[in-house]
Every structure is written in C-alpha cells, then in structure tokens.
Structure 1
C-alpha cells in the first residue's frame, strides 16, 4: 500500500505477531498491504506475505528490525516502553500500542501484585508517549476492555472450561457489575484504522465491545455459546473469600479480587474511537465447540 502523503510504500512491523491480537493483526495487514514484518520470540517460517523476525524485547541484541513506517505492538506495553529507544528508527511515522483499561479499573485493587502491575503499565504508557514525542513520531495507545477469542483467550475461554468441567458457574454478589467484552479480531481491525487516521494521532482510546452486559448476563451467553442451560450459583462476598481460600491451590493464577470484581462496573465510552477511526466491534455472541 502507498502512503499518500509521501508517495512511498507503507511498511508495517507487528511486535507480538504470534499473540492473540497480533495474529489477527498480521493476517489483516498482510491482506491489506501485501507484506508485513512480524516479530515473535520463537522461530517461524517466512511466507509470501509475512516475514517473521525472531526477537525478544528483553534482549537488546535481538532488536534488529527493518525500516518500517508503522510500528504496532500487541505484546507487553511495559516491555515495549523499555525497548522503544532501540527500535524506533528514523523511518517510523506512527506507533500503535495496546495497553489495557485495567489502568483505570484496577488502581484500587486489594491485590498488591496487581497494583504494582498497574503502576508499571501506567508508567509505560507515559514513557511510550514521551519517547514518541521526542522523536516526533505519532502515537496511539489503545486500551481494550475484556478481550476474548473463543478457545484462545485468557478471560472468557477459561470460564467456558470451568463450566464444561463442573456444569455451573459461581457468581459473587449477584454479579451485576457491567462489562463490555471485545473480540481480539476487532481490536486488530481497530488498530489498523487508528494507524491510518490522522485524527487518532497522539491520543489514548478505550476500546469496549459493542454491548454493555452485566457480568451475570455475560456468563449466561457463555453457557448459550456452549449449548448448555444457564446454571449460575450465587455466592455472598464473604463465602466467596472462604471458598477461594480453599480452592486457591487448584487455580494458582487466580486471585480473590477476580470474583469480587463481578460486582463492579467496568464500562467505557467508545464515542471518541467511533468518531476518530470508525470503531465498530461485534456483538458478544461467543460460540464454543
């Protein structure tokens, strides 16, 4: 694809190209531009439209990338912030990076590790902005809500697996907290649109899904997508804490705040993204095999 302002071919690099959002992004860019460079920590075979580069943001000696005009990062924004001075070549005109709405919703979490992660992610966002502005590179930071892609994500898919295993889903305090799940492919499409929109330069955007649902209804639709009757078991917050403490060894990556947040609204306004680059995500209708 030609860059109309410069009359030159647009070259794109996707850091995190083998990840959940990155995989969709690479596919869409390859179809749109004919060729794309993609970065992965593990070796991958080059194809006619995708040239894979093995690199690791934590290893400066591996960060030797071709000259590109647009840099996308769908991997850890904290690692990107640390590596950006080494990879931001003079040809880059635009950086689009994925962060998370967690920087807004989890600041008051009772889990110390989460608070530390949010502090680091917030600082990383500001570092990306500062470096881009120092280099006179346009930046866009996208903050998605609850990301899913049936069978692949770490948010919705694990819930479907729990339902498949036990036949029901425990919900805390009525689970009336609002959610806006967003599909990973929609984020990839949105990232491309943001990169190509002058109006989206040098801005932060929250990227919610098309529907605002209670956590309870969101889980109900997971049951629907599995072809199973909805079986939700209500728990009071104190009972959840007791049960979680006993079950914690079975779910080492979980924390007690995950259940308590079922009662908390986590919603965002998509209007700026709609107006600036045509954000248009799908409805939440997951289908599980």
Structure 2
C-alpha cells in the first residue's frame, strides 16, 4: 500500500464511488475507502476498506492522505472534517448537485430543504477548507444514471415495467442532460490534480440535450418496449401523485416533479471541459443500466 499514492474516498459504496475505485487503480492510486457498510467483494490489493461508525466523533485510524474525494451527500462531509484534517489533506473534491439551483425555488418544502442542505454543505466545505489552507473542488452533476443503481431513471424504468406506460404532464418538452455515472467518476478523479480546479465549482451535465418525453421514450426502448406515454391533465395527475404516495417506492414523488417535465433543466459544462478535460458521452442506456 505504501508504494501507491493514497486517495481517501467517502461514500465508496455509492454508485459514483463504485465507478471511481477502478479509475483510481488505473491511475496508480491506492483507495482508502470509507463506508458505513464496507464492501463484501473479494479483497482488492488496490483498496483498503475502513468502516465509519454511527457514533461520531469516533473515526477509524487513517493513514496520511493528501487528496480526498467525497461522493456521499455533501451535507454529511462536515462530520469528517476533523478526520480529513488529521490525515494531512491538501485537496478535497466533493460531489454536490445542480439540484442546488433547481429545487431552491420549488413549491415543495421537502425539495427546498434538499437545496438548502446542498448549499450549506458547499458553504461549510469552502469555509473550513480555506481556513485550514486546503484546496476544495465542488462538482455539481445533473441527472446521474448508470448500473441500475441511480434514483432517477431506474425509478422510471421500474414504473414502466410494472404498469406498462408512463404518465406525462402536458407535452413534457422540458430539456434534460442525463449524465453517466462513469463520466462523473472521471471528472472526480481528474479534479484531484488539475491546478486550475483549485477552489472552484463546476457543473457536470451530460453530453446530449433531449426533451423529457424523448428521455422516457428511450427508457422504454432500453427495456424492449414501445413507448406508451399517456398525457394526463393536471387535476388527474395531482390525484395520481397522492395515490402513488401511499406506496413506499413512490412516496417521494411530488407534483413539483411533474411540473418540471415542462421546464428546461440545462447547464453548461464548458468550464469543466476546459479545466478538467471533462467530455461526457451521449445519453445511452445499456442493459446493465436498467434494473431487472
């Protein structure tokens, strides 16, 4: 382990974390992976798993780590500032979300709370890091998908499999830029060492812009079904949301989510391309991106 450059990874068992580990290995780095539930996979000589305890501030013993990645929710990062500082950190790259902007003005209080937590997490990282002479980089991806583990497109796919159709509010022509988890992982690893990225935040959108309607149609195609998109009036959609909220899987669905089907959620990633070499692929769903 000592002969490799060590990189700390918080949220190692997450979708993006799972994509990051092999990239760090290919980059000649040893991953010190932190998780509340360490991986049960076969031992990997390129990874040391350390378990985070539920009771804080009880941290595991950490080696010297100068570069850190946090792909856990950014609002939990402040809990580990002490551990990161003790390790001798020089740069921390943290994943946030463009939901910071999208949900800030939401009519749903739960979504407003998410936007507030994202903002507070970003602000806490910037303030703490600058106070201790540590560089920070914040990455804000759009709609992450991949490996059948995301909480966005996989939920649509599950709905389609179960019910055979998908409801739309209006024309659902709002623009989207889904981003593959692998592209987000590549940006995270790149941000560890790029000098121009120090103390900057970047939006990470996908390489293709398409309407919500087209995005859902492609999900149908990926699971081998012809699109059945049913346009529903607002009053009926509101009733439907109230009904599906009774099912645990759909309890987080809101009318605000339906309203956004007709809003453009588009972000420029030119700065990430310039400073991080970020080059996301087109929206393409593979078999392993869709849950069984």
Structure 1 runs, 4 residues or longer, greater than 3 Å off = 43-46
Is 1:37 the counterpart of 2:36? The answer is no
Residue 5 of structure 1: aligned partner: none
**What are the superposed Cα offsets for residues 95-121 of structure 1, whole Å, 9 maximum, x if unpaired?**
000000000111111111221221122
Size of the aligned set, in residue pairs, is 284
Shift of 1:76: 1.3
In structure 2, relative to structure 1, the CA distance for the partners of 1:119 and 1:176 (3 Å cut) is same
Is 1:207 the counterpart of 2:188? The answer is no
Which of 223, 243, 249 is the aligned partner of 1:226? 223
Is 1:23 the counterpart of 2:18? The answer is yes
Residue 125 of structure 1: aligned partner: 122
Q: 2:54, 2:86 → 1: CA distance?
A: 15
Is 1:277 the counterpart of 2:272? The answer is no
- The correspondence of residues 109-258 of structure 1 with structure 2, limited to 5 A, is 109-250=106-247, 251-258=250-257
TM-score by structure 2 length?
Answer: 0.92
CA contact (8 A) 2:69 2:92 kept: yes
In structure 2, relative to structure 1, the CA distance for the partners of 1:71 and 1:165 (3 Å cut) is same
Residue 267 of structure 2: aligned partner: 268
Q: 1:74, 1:56 → 2: CA distance?
A: 18
Residue 6 of structure 2: aligned partner: 11
Q: 1:81, 1:110 → 2: CA distance?
A: 28
In structure 2, relative to structure 1, the CA distance for the partners of 1:27 and 1:56 (3 Å cut) is farther
CA contact (8 A) 1:57 1:80 kept: no
Q: 1:114, 1:56 → 2: CA distance?
A: 28
CA contact (8 A) 1:150 1:156 kept: no
**What are the superposed Cα offsets for residues 151-184 of structure 1, whole Å, 9 maximum, x if unpaired?**
2111001111111111111111211111100111
CA contact (8 A) 2:34 2:52 kept: yes
Q: 2:267, 2:73 → 1: CA distance?
A: 22
Residue 64 of structure 1: aligned partner: 61
- Partner SS state of residue 60, structure 1: coil
Shift of 1:19: 0.7
CA contact (8 A) 2:7 2:31 kept: yes
- Partner SS state of residue 245, structure 2: helix
Relative to structure 2, which stretch is displaced further, 229-238 or 83-92? Answer: 83-92
**Structure 2 residues not aligned, in runs of 5+:** none
Residue 88 of structure 1: aligned partner: 85
